Amino acid sequence: MPSGRLRYGAGLGPAGPAAPSRGIDSAADLLARTVETLARRTPSVGADAARELGDIVLALHFGDGSHATLQAHHNSVVVNGGLAPGTVECFFNDRSLLALYDLEGRPSQVLEQGAFDVRGTPEQILAVWRTFQLLAQRAAGLRSVQSLWMTYRQGRGLALAVAANGHEPGPDADVPDAAGLLRGSEAAAESASVATTRVLWNRHAGEGWWAFEGPRDADLFDIMERCRRRVADEILTLIPARHPVDGLYRLMREYPSRGGKGLRPTLCIATCGAFGGHSEDAVRIAAAVEMFHNAFLIHDDIEDESLRRRGERCLHMEHGIPLAVNAGDGLNLLAVDTVLTNIERLGLARTLTMIHEITHMCRESIEGQAVELGWIRRRHVPIRDADYINMVSQKTGWYTCRSPCRLGAIAAGHTRPRELDLLGEVFKEVGIAFQIQDDVLNLIGEEDLYGKETLGDLLEGKRTLMLIHLMRTVSPRERRELHEWLGRPRSKRTVSESRHVLRRMEQSDSIEYARRVAARHAARGARLFEDTLGFIPQSEGKAILRQVIHYVNTRLL
Distance in Å, CB of 231 to another protein, minimum: 20
Whether the upstream peptide bond of residue 244 has omega within 30° of 0, thus cis, is yes
Residue 172 near another protein by CB under 8 A? no
Torsion over CA: 183, 188, 190, 194 (sign): negative
Residue 243 near another protein by CB under 8 A? no
- Of 135, 151, 140, 145, give the one whose Cα is nearest residue 58: 135
Q: Which is nearer to another protein, 213 or 312 (CB)?
A: 213
Distance in Å, CB of 278 to another protein, minimum: 7
Q: Per-residue string for binding with another protein, 122-161, x by CB under 8 A?
A: ----------------------------------------
Q: What residues from 519 to 548 belong to the interface with another protein (CB under 8 A)?
A: 534-535, 537-540
One residue of 10, 19, 181, 333 binding another protein per CB under 8 A? 181
Residue-wise DSSP of 380-402: ---SSHHHHHHHHIIIIIIIIII
Candidates 213-221, 251-259, 308-316, 377-385: pick the segment binding another protein (CB under 8 A). Answer: 213-221
- Regarding beta strands 76-81 and 67-73, do their DSSP bridges make them parallel or antiparallel, or are they unpaired? antiparallel
Q: What residues from 250 to 309 belong to the interface with another protein (CB under 8 A)?
A: 276, 278
Distance in Å, CB of 200 to another protein, minimum: 4
How large is the greatest C-alpha to C-alpha distance in the chain, in angstroms? 82
One residue of 15, 55, 108, 209 binding another protein per CB under 8 A? 209
Length of the chain: 557
- Of 434, 409, 433, give the one whose Cα is nearest residue 420: 409
One residue of 10, 19, 121, 212 binding another protein per CB under 8 A? 212
One residue of 17, 22, 122, 201 binding another protein per CB under 8 A? 201
Which amino acid, residue 549?
I
One residue of 195, 466, 470, 528 binding another protein per CB under 8 A? 195
How far apart, in whole angstroms, are the C-alpha atoms of residue 297 and residue 295? 5
Q: Per-residue string for binding with another protein, 419-448, x by CB under 8 A?
A: ------------------------------
Distance in Å, CB of 384 to another protein, minimum: 41
One residue of 3, 15, 85, 211 binding another protein per CB under 8 A? 211
Return phi, psi of residue 113, to 5°.
Answer: -75, -5
Residue 164 near another protein by CB under 8 A? no
- Of 83, 81, 166, 96, give the one whose Cα is nearest residue 129: 96
Torsion over CA: 230, 235, 240, 245 (sign): negative
Q: Which is nearer to another protein, 83 or 200 (CB)?
A: 200
Distance in Å, CB of 136 to another protein, minimum: 17
CB 99 within 8 A of CB 81: no
Candidates 15-23, 39-47, 154-162, 180-188: pick the segment binding another protein (CB under 8 A). Answer: 180-188
Secondary structure of residue 505 in the 3-state scheme: helix
One residue of 15, 108, 190, 489 binding another protein per CB under 8 A? 190
Q: Which is nearer to another protein, 114 or 534 (CB)?
A: 534
Return phi, psi of residue 67, to 5°.
Answer: -140, 155
CB 312 within 8 A of CB 256: no
Q: Which residues fall within 8 angstroms of residue 47, CB to CB, at 6 or more apart?
A: 75, 76, 522, 523, 526, 550
Distance in Å, CB of 503 to another protein, minimum: 51
Distance in Å, CB of 149 to another protein, minimum: 18
Residue 245 near another protein by CB under 8 A? no
User: How many residues in the shown chain lie near another protein by CB under 8 A?
Assistant: 46
Q: How remote is the C-alpha of 221 from its chain's centroid?
A: 8
Residue 341 near another protein by CB under 8 A? no
How far apart, in whole angstroms, are the C-alpha atoms of residue 418 and residue 439? 32
Whether the upstream peptide bond of residue 107 has omega within 30° of 0, thus cis, is no
Distance in Å, CB of 523 to another protein, minimum: 24
How far apart, in whole angstroms, are the C-alpha atoms of residue 93 and residue 110? 12
Return phi, psi of residue 380, to 5°.
Answer: -105, 135
Q: How remote is the C-alpha of 307 from its chain's centroid?
A: 26
Residue 202 near another protein by CB under 8 A? yes
Distance in Å, CB of 410 to another protein, minimum: 17
How far apart, in whole angstroms, are the C-alpha atoms of residue 146 and residue 34? 9
Residue 483 near another protein by CB under 8 A? no
Q: Which is nearer to another protein, 526 or 543 (CB)?
A: 543
Residue 200 near another protein by CB under 8 A? yes
Kindly list the residues in this chain that would bind another protein in the complex (CB under 8 A): 168-171, 175-179, 181-182, 185, 187-188, 190-192, 195-215, 276, 278, 534-535, 537-540
